[in-house]
A and B are shown apart, each in its own frame.
Chain A
């Protein structure tokens, strides 16, 4: 027996009429991003395009670096939901940025296993090296430093996420080396995941 009575959601009723004001530059997906999104939408039943909303937001964020309200409205149009639905999701998940971030977003894991191995000091040294506080972006727009919760690599603590890559076993005293390495060689300077033995 169902405790969820069938309700006529999503067909003109029970929908937020909240309009998102203009913000940021005009936004529309590139043809390539749009095609990638449609391929992902095809993984779900046709009437369930909303399932692809996280993927749609990741694509928008990749294209523009962060999510403006204009981007959210475009996502709503493409997915076929209200802008309020999109805003709802964006404000919940931690991986979406609603403000510009640096070229490299350094995400220091601060949860217990990493903290036991010195993550607090890793953050403190990176703050010192970059001249910014946790949560800030440097003046050149090169680095953003944030603290995040458990990244699931506790055996290689402290771990630092760098955009979509990883730096494992980051020592506090190696803050300068991490920053310089990224400036010189980009993501190639990172340790990556130790499990990918093929790269070694």
Chain B
């Protein structure tokens, strides 16, 4: 098993402090990076094969290379700490327990793209995490690690924490930029991509927290070392968030060669299904990706491995559901989320999400008709690929995936005129649901 790199000390008291971080070699990668040219840093990150940990898995080095360095405008780095994908809670751990690793990653990223300012956009609900970040940032500033003439090496760079105010959509990179500019978090038409016109119309790189936390490791220990952790093109340590019906829900760090089955069943990770129940299905990458069945789990939990099985690694939020779970109810739950969080900019997502949610509610209450199933597929199909950002696809996926895999369950609801799997952990009365 891989020795944890990002989360090695998270259980130790005081591990979030500057003093602890420096005692364990902190900010040495920054010193090393500042001795390299920005191009060399970008090349190193490219060679490592680091892929974005926010969900899309796009190569980070490429993203940085695309930043328009010839532009006379200032460049910006935005750290996406708006962790809002259902089932995802890994960045939360990194920011609360290892904030200086994130700062170091931000500073190296700024050096690489020629930025003088980085904004960490943290979701508003992470108030206690923000307090940790602000306090530690002040200490780093005092110690000459953030601000003017960093480490006495003539590098100026500021890091600021920016608090969001409750919007899932702010996790989309252009919506995040809009929100940073003080507007509604709604996505922009692309191109231009943020690398050309991002924050304030300037070249911008937007990177996830976990992505940036990997950067100091690459600089310190080399691209080859990093690439060799895990399968080809899926190198580096990965944080997995295991939640739902497992015995040991939590954040676990592992190489991407780890079988998905182990992450759920192994005692070092999820520890198996709680209460002696059998596994029904797994959503492996945050709520926006297709479900996998128990027989599909013998794959490496890598970007390519999970994609090969017909789903996506996404944000690595592994939501585990046991046999007591009604899939119509689960789909309705997720569509309630997407209906609520749709920013409303694109009609297919705004109207389609609401429509899907209403039909699912009808079927779940036993008021559905057989023709509703085709209607669900038709609406979801008309959202898929027809919106400015990936949110539309994310909203359509739970419906397309569950109707395909669990069609018999939907049909049973319709035939019997009731929910055929009313689990004891659900409320007996659904009257309160959807009250707002």
Instruction: Kindly state whether residue A154 has any CB partner on chain B within 8 Å.
Output: yes
Q: Which of B88-145 contact A (CB under 8 A)?
A: 88-89, 92-93, 96-97, 119, 123-129
Among B180, B244, B319, the residue within 8 A (CB) of A51 is B180
Instruction: Kindly state whether residue A196 has any CB partner on chain B within 8 Å.
Output: yes
- A87 vs B260: C-alpha distance when bound (angstroms): 46
- A111 vs B168: C-alpha distance when bound (angstroms): 12
Q: How far is the CB of A190 from chain B (nearest CB, A)?
A: 11
Instruction: Kindly state whether residue B314 has any CB partner on chain A within 8 Å.
Output: no
Which residues from B are CB-within-8-Å of A89? Answer: 182-184
Assess the A2–B242 pair: CB atoms within 8 A: no
Knowing A89-B182, A118-B425, the reply to whether A195 touches B125 (Cβ < 8 A) is no
Assess the A121–B425 pair: CB atoms within 8 A: yes
Q: How far is the CB of A61 from chain B (nearest CB, A)?
A: 9
Residue of B nearest to A193 (CB): B128
Instruction: Kindly state whether residue B337 has any CB partner on chain A within 8 Å.
Output: yes
Per-position binary interface string of chain A over residues 139-172, scored 1 when its CB falls under 8 Å from any chain B CB and 0 otherwise: 0000000111111111111000100111000000
User: Number of A interface residues, CB 8 Å?
Assistant: 63
- A196 vs B135: C-alpha distance when bound (angstroms): 14
Per-position binary interface string of chain B over residues 166-205, scored 1 when its CB falls under 8 Å from any chain A CB and 0 otherwise: 1110000000000111111100010110001100110000
- A43 vs B134: C-alpha distance when bound (angstroms): 13
Which residues from A are CB-within-8-Å of B124? Answer: 54, 58, 93, 95
Q: How far is the CB of B334 from chain A (nearest CB, A)?
A: 6
Instruction: Kindly state whether residue B333 has any CB partner on chain A within 8 Å.
Output: yes
Query: How many pairs of A and B residues are in contact by the CB < 8 Å rule?
Result: 197
Which residues from A are CB-within-8-Å of B244? Answer: 112-113, 116-117, 154
Instruction: Kindly state whether residue A133 has any CB partner on chain B within 8 Å.
Output: yes
Instruction: Kindly state whether residue A197 has any CB partner on chain B within 8 Å.
Output: yes
Knowing A116-B425, A118-B425, A146-B436, the reply to whether A157 touches B243 (Cβ < 8 A) is yes
- A112 vs B245: C-alpha distance when bound (angstroms): 11
User: Number of B interface residues, CB 8 Å?
Assistant: 79
Q: Which B positions have Cβ atoms within 8 angstroms of A?
A: 10-14, 83-89, 92-93, 96-97, 119, 123-129, 158, 160, 162-168, 179-185, 189, 191-192, 196-197, 200-201, 241-245, 249-251, 283, 287, 317, 319, 321, 325, 330, 333-334, 336-337, 340-341, 343, 425-430, 432-433, 435-436
Among B84, B93, B183, the residue within 8 A (CB) of A150 is B84
Across the A-B interface, give the 6 residue pairs with the lowest CB-CB distance, nearest first.
A94-B166, A50-B182, A93-B165, A154-B243, A120-B427, A95-B166
Assess the A120–B250 pair: CB atoms within 8 A: no
Q: Which of A54, A94, A123, A135 lies at the interface centre, i.e. has the most chain B CB atoms within 10 A of its CB?
A: A54
Q: Which of B97, B201, B425 lies at the interface centre, i.e. has the most chain A CB atoms within 10 A of its CB?
A: B425
Which residues from A are CB-within-8-Å of B125? Answer: 95, 148, 151-152, 161
Q: How far is the CB of B107 from chain A (nearest CB, A)?
A: 16
Assess the A150–B436 pair: CB atoms within 8 A: no
Which residues from A are CB-within-8-Å of B201? Answer: 4
Assess the B184–A88 pair: CB atoms within 8 A: yes
- A134 vs B160: C-alpha distance when bound (angstroms): 36
Residue of B nearest to A156 (CB): B249
Q: Which of B85, B123, B166 lies at the interface centre, i.e. has the most chain A CB atoms within 10 A of its CB?
A: B166
Which residues from A are CB-within-8-Å of B92? Answer: 152-153, 195
Per-position binary interface string of chain A over residues 100-133, scored 1 when its CB falls under 8 Å from any chain B CB and 0 otherwise: 0000000000111101111011011001000001
Instruction: Kindly state whether residue A66 has any CB partner on chain B within 8 Å.
Output: no
Among B165, B196, B435, the residue within 8 A (CB) of A135 is B435
Knowing A113-B319, A166-B128, the reply to whether A198 touches B182 (Cβ < 8 A) is no
Residue of A nearest to B132 (CB): A196
Which residues from B are CB-within-8-Å of A153? Answer: 89, 92
- A155 vs B126: C-alpha distance when bound (angstroms): 15
Q: Which of A41-85 contact B (CB under 8 A)?
A: 43, 45, 48, 50-55, 57-58, 79, 81, 85
Knowing A152-B123, A154-B243, A195-B10, the reply to whether A112 touches B86 (Cβ < 8 A) is yes
Residue of A nearest to B430 (CB): A120
Assess the B432–A124 pair: CB atoms within 8 A: yes
Knowing A48-B200, A52-B182, A150-B85, the reply to whether A155 touches B13 (Cβ < 8 A) is no
13 pairs of residues in contact across A and B, judged by CB atoms under 8 Å: A4-B201, A53-B182, A88-B183, A89-B184, A94-B165, A94-B167, A111-B287, A113-B86, A123-B432, A147-B435, A149-B341, A157-B243, A197-B13
- A121 vs B427: C-alpha distance when bound (angstroms): 5
- A43 vs B182: C-alpha distance when bound (angstroms): 13
Residue of B nearest to A126 (CB): B432
Knowing A92-B184, A154-B243, A198-B13, the reply to whether A124 touches B86 (Cβ < 8 A) is no
